[in-house]
């Protein structure tokens, strides 16, 4: 994953990697499941944040383009 995506989740992901490094039985018995859930929650929160930001930027861009086209139509 890209560094900018996981910066906020790096600590939890490191803990999950350490849990997985303890061996197959730890993973098999579900000892790392709680950490995996936390990683998923963290990554989802970051994705939602990015989505909201992208949506706002798209609205601004659309409004700017609409104004440009309105100006073109008015001056044509």
pLDDT in tens, 18-67: 999 999 998 889 999 999 999 999 999 999 999 999 999 999 999 999 99
* Position with higher pLDDT, 56 vs 7: 56
Backbone phi and psi for residue 50, each to the nearest 5 degrees, phi listed first: -65, -40
pLDDT attached to residue 46: 94
How far are the Cα atoms of 48, 58, 62, 73, 76 from residue 69, in angstroms, in the given order? 31, 16, 10, 6, 10
Residue-number span of the structural domain to which 47 is assigned: 3-74
pLDDT at 67: 95
Q: Kindly tell me if the per-residue pLDDT of 1 is higher than 60.
A: no
Q: Specify the number of domains making up the chain.
A: 1
Predicted pLDDT of residue 27: 86
Neighbouring CB atoms inside 10 A of 21's CB total: 10
In this structure, which long-range contacts are made by residues 58-67, counting pairs with CB atoms below 8 Å and at least 24 apart in sequence? none
């Amino acid at each position: 994953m890209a560094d900018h995506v996981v910066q906020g989740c790096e600590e939890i992901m490191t803990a999950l990697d350490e849990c997985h490094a303890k061996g197959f039985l730890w993973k098999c018995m579900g000892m790392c499941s709680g950490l995996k859930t936390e990683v998923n929650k963290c990554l989802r929160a970051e994705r939602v944040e990015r989505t909201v930001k992208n949506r706002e930027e798209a609205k601004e861009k659309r409004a700017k383009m609409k104004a440009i086209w309105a100006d073109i139509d008015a001056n044509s």
